[in-house]
């Protein structure tokens, strides 16, 4: 970031009043109090993560219109917000397809390789930790990215059931998932504190949605917080 951009980010993080409207976009108002969760040491809230997801969705559409973007980085993604997995998992109590069965239809996309390459969804674990779940049709696997290195096979099992239910519901057929794998990588960027999981989750989504290799670490989190503040204020991924 340039000196001017760093100054703008600092102002957004520390000089906005809680009820100041920073931006109105995607039928949402992001307030100063939302931006304050991007201050160093703070836990990101749903509003910030969901706004980032919306901007990634918009960027994806731009990428497909821009032939200078390498083909590898043009990935057909279905993005869900932070409430999707909470509903699918019945707030951690089990599995509830009925509560999300219209979510893909709202975006006019099928959860099927004919329509998407990846389905990307943040996961809130027990209201204390953010992670990222991905349904990867390109590699036929259910992926889980946790900056603390934990497993969550229940989440992946729910996603597997979800794909089967979606295809049954919208295509009227059984979907063969026998070759699909569960993928919970341990050699990914890890957090070294108790507050940056939301930033890691947002950056996992950012990179996964463009098939980019993770090349960041805990040391980059203060920079990413400032960058995310600028992106939100401008309404577009940098």
| Enzyme catalytic residues | 129, 146, 197
Q: What is the largest CA-CA distance in the chain?
A: 56
Among 9, 13, 7, 46, smallest CA distance to 28 is for: 46
Contacts of 214 (CB under 8 A, 6+ apart): 188, 189, 203, 204, 207
Rounded Cα distance, 33 and 18, in Å: 4
Helix (H, G, I), strand (E, B) or coil at 183: strand
Contacts of 16 (CB under 8 A, 6+ apart): 22, 32, 35, 36
Residue 13: count of CB within 10 angstroms of its CB: 20
The three-point CA angle 30-35-36 to 5° equals 140
Among 116, 114, 96, 92, smallest CA distance to 165 is for: 96
């Amino acid at each position: 970031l340039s000196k001017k951009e760093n100054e703008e980010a600092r102002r957004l993080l520390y000089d906005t009043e809680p009820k100041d409207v920073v931006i109105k976009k995607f039928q949402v108002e992001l307030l100063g109090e939302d931006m304050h969760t991007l201050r160093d040491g703070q836990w990101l809230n749903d509003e910030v993560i969901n706004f980032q997801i919306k901007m990634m969705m918009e960027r994806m559409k731009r990428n497909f219109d821009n032939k200078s973007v390498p083909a590898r980085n043009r990935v057909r993604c279905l993005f869900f917000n932070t409430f999707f997995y909470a509903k699918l998992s019945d707030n951690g109590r089990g599995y509830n397809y009925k509560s999300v069965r219209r979510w893909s239809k709202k975006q006019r996309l099928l959860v099927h390789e004919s329509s998407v390459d990846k389905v990307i969804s943040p996961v809130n674990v027990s209201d204390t930790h953010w992670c990222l779940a991905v349904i990867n049709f390109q590699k036929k696997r259910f992926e889980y990215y946790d900056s603390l290195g934990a497993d969550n096979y229940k989440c992946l099992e729910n996603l597997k059931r979800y794909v089967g239910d979606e295809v049954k519901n919208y295509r009227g057929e059984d979907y063969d998932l026998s070759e699909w794998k569960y993928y919970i990588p341990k050699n990914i960027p890890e957090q070294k504190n108790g507050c940056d999981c939301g930033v890691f989750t947002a950056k996992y989504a950012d990179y996964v949605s463009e098939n980019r290799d993770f090349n960041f670490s805990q040391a980059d989190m203060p920079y990413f917080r400032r960058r995310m503040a600028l992106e939100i204020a401008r309404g577009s991924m940098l």
